Structure 1
């Protein structure tokens, strides 16, 4: 079986960013006056370093670059944007930390925490950042970026739940119920969704080959979160702990294996889930809600598809009695040992404001009912990604599951490998 890409989410996010160079952001036409007093809490302003994978400096309209440029003008200093891609950026964070010259402002997502905190790459931020700001999501910061009751990364205000976009026309023509109506009635479950997708998976031209599927998706491991479980969790001592014996893990694995291998109602025409969805090869597209403004609406405008689409939450598994939702969030932390943590905090606040304002502008094109749904789902988040940075998304296990391997055998074979990962991660927290 072709290996499932562990970096697909990161690469998808990178699509909205430019390639980066190690450089200060330089001047801008819209200048602001330098502050008379550039110190913060007695800390003198100085040049800062910043890292975010895929972040370029050429696009002056980029929300992050706009904030950095304004900060440079206000404080009369330079911010160096460190060039890094998704394969190398964490190595650069580690190298800088080990060298005694830590990066001041460090991007973070659900894939890096709590490991960044456990390994000491970043530090608690509440002393340096207003964590109750309207431009920051405190709830997401606590859910995704806290460690031992302290917040290590300030999450952007626009949290993205994992949802399903669907082809309303296709479902209507197939005589199927509208998923959103099923959701409202409390009937949007794994079983309901699976049966619907199996019905929609057909050979449309009679050549003996399936050419339309129920679902296109990139994140098989995310279904664990939809069933309120994970391969790994954090115990009361703040340490990683394997969760492979949880019956919900087996239950979810069986669901995913049926999706990918047994019944094969997940499929794509080509390598791109968006193109496959736009061309009517799939009824459902699973993606985080940021994709509506970044991908789906622009594609609709460009007439890449002409059907009416809807959106519905990812269905809830039988173990998810609390109806919690998988979501994605990103944010910014301060490197441990930064010589200018107060100024790093100020830069983060300015970035959060700029990003929030950009998101608000983009969201004007999103139907109001969709925005209301995203907001509602964001109130009840289940952080299924505690295993992300510790055991590499669980992708090695899901390679086996999606390839048809026996689930119990797969769990047994992967256990010693994951135990090694967990031991390594926990050593940092205990040192």
Structure 2
């Protein structure tokens, strides 16, 4: 019955796609002369389709849109950008694949792989893309987007480690050690961080309500990776298997539950971690390193906050003896069955170049020591497959943990649900 439901949904959404969810990028004043020969390896140029959640077409200065526009001019074709939000975009990828009209260029992140490869939504890319290009991170592509020794998605050159930005002034005034010094001395651990955050969580105005917290964050599940574990993993046969019995999973769950529920040293004033941090309601903000150029530096320029901030790696859990780091990467793959895979590959190369050049320009505003730290952390990445959408990012389990439910009971209740998810994912990989 489950498979029938999925099939009906796929067909229905395929009809929706064909009904006009596509938007062209339009023309640009900065025209590029069309190539005399627009074929690649004997493949004639043709219109392509492209999907990335949240990708609009109005901002002509957007790095992706600039690349798409240049591609259209060089090859004399149109690239149709499929309108999609973060809640529905993967369903649109599935429905397009099921309809026999796969999307040519498909965005991908750590949340979609290896599931996209296992389910056959995307195909190996090395035949169509220069995976040794300076604009692509081959190491990140292999770490996050490989399946059975083949790369399915070309990662952008910059990998974003998960770090903590902190209010230096607040820590100084509280008489606490500088986190970066603790990190350099090998003392930046779960316990050290927790005690620091508990000290910083206080009622500043004496009204009986906590109004300042040690930490603001959006990713409770990311702490599993910081402790070098995951809710599921990939076995030697390239299939998913649950990892719920790992003692490190319980250990991390206890840490997160204390953070969110028991001691409540994680909190937000309002519903936005950035605003809460800028207003001095949190000592630490946990986010990926891309947020420094996209959010923190612009906010500092706009005088949304006036304190001095620092950055330090996410602390290492007791099981993370290898000192690996949770990181985020994104890139682009080619839909399985694409009629123009060589041209899709060329478009991806152009997007990677445009995005990398934009990042390089933005990074000029980032302190050199921060860039060096991000680069250092990016050399030792832990691919925590619990992020994978095969188990819906583990969010159902962490809803229970953060809500105060007994951890062993939560693991027992979630196990059959996750077994069903994994069975479905593995069935696709074995078919």
- TM-score of the superposed pair, with normalisation by structure 1: 0.95
| Greater shift in the superposed pair: 230-239 or 86-95 | 86-95
Unpaired stretches in structure 2, ≥5 consecutive residues: none
Q: SS of the residue aligned with 2:50?
A: strand
- Match of residue 368 from structure 1: 368
Q: CA deviation at 1:398?
A: 0.6
* Per-residue deviation, 1:387: 4.7
In structure 1, stretches of 5+ residues that fail to align are none
Residues 140, 379 of structure 1: CA spacing in aligned structure 2 closer, same or farther, 3 A cutoff? Answer: same
Tell me the residue number matched to 2:25: 25
1:17–1:55 contact (8 Å) kept in structure 2: no
Deviation (angstroms), 1:23: 1.9
- Alpha-carbon deviation of 1:361? 0.6
How many residues of Structure 1 are paired with residues of Structure 2 in the alignment?
A: 431
State the Cα deviation string for residues 283-327 of structure 1 (Å, max 9, x = none).
Answer: 000000111111111111111100000000000000001100001
For the 8 Å contact 1:108–1:153, the answer to whether it is kept is yes
Residue 22 (structure 1) shift: 2.1
Please state whether the residue corresponding to 2:3 is helix, strand or coil.
coil
4+ aligned runs moved over 3 Å, structure 1? 1-21
Tell me, yes or no, if structure 1 residue 352 matches structure 2 residue 352: yes
Matched residues in 1 for 2:102 and 2:76: separation? 21
Deviations 1:259-291 (A, max 9, x none): 011111001111111111001100000000111
Pairwise CA distance, 1:25: 1.4
Judge which range, 214-223 or 7-16, deviates more. Answer: 7-16
Q: 1:58 to 1:10 in 2, by over 3 A?
A: farther
Cα 1:9–1:86 change in 2 (3 A) is farther
Alpha-carbon offset, residue 91 of structure 1: 1.2
Rate the CA distance shift 1:72–1:136 in 2: closer, same or farther, 3 A.
same
Alpha-carbon contact 1:114-1:386 (below 8 Å) kept: no
Provide the C-alpha distance between the structure 2 equivalents of 1:175 and 1:5, rounded to a whole number of angstroms: 59
Q: What CA RMSD, in Å, does the superposition of the two structures yield over aligned residues?
A: 5.3
Between 153-162 and 14-23, report the one with greater CA deviation: 14-23
What residue number does 1:267 align with? 267
Cα 1:58–1:13, aligned 2, differ >3 Å: closer, same or farther?
farther
Shift of 1:6: 21
Tell me the distance in 2 between the aligned counterparts of 1:38 and 1:357: 25
Contact 1:20 1:83 in 2 (8 A): no
Distance 1:6 1:156, change over 3 A: farther
In the TM superposition, what is the alpha-carbon distance from 1:99 to its structure 2 partner?
1.0
1:184 & 1:200 partners in 2: Cα distance?
Answer: 22
The structure-2 alpha-carbon separation of the partners of 1:372 and 1:15, relative to structure 1 and needing over 3 Å to count, comes to: farther
1:85-124 to 2 correspondences below 5 Å: 85-124=85-124
Kept in 2: contact 1:240–1:426 (CA 8 A): yes
Distance in 2, matches of 1:287 and 1:8, equals 38
Assess if the C-alpha contact under 8 Å between 2:148 and 2:238 holds in 1. Answer: yes
**Cα displacement string for residues 113-140 of structure 1 (whole angstroms, at most 9, x for unaligned residues):** 1110000000000000000100001111
Deviation at 1:92, TM superposition (A): 1.1
Aligned mates of 1:141, 1:355 — CA distance in 2: 16
Q: CA deviation at 1:388?
A: 2.2
Report the CA distance shift for 1:3/1:239 in structure 2 as closer, same or farther (over 3 A).
closer
Q: Is the CA contact (8 Å cut-off) linking 1:165 and 1:310 kept in structure 2?
A: yes
Q: Are residues 259 and 2 of structure 1, via their aligned partners in 2, closer, same or farther at CA, if it must alter by over 3 Å? A: farther
Contact 2:216–2:285 (Cα < 8 Å) also in 1: yes
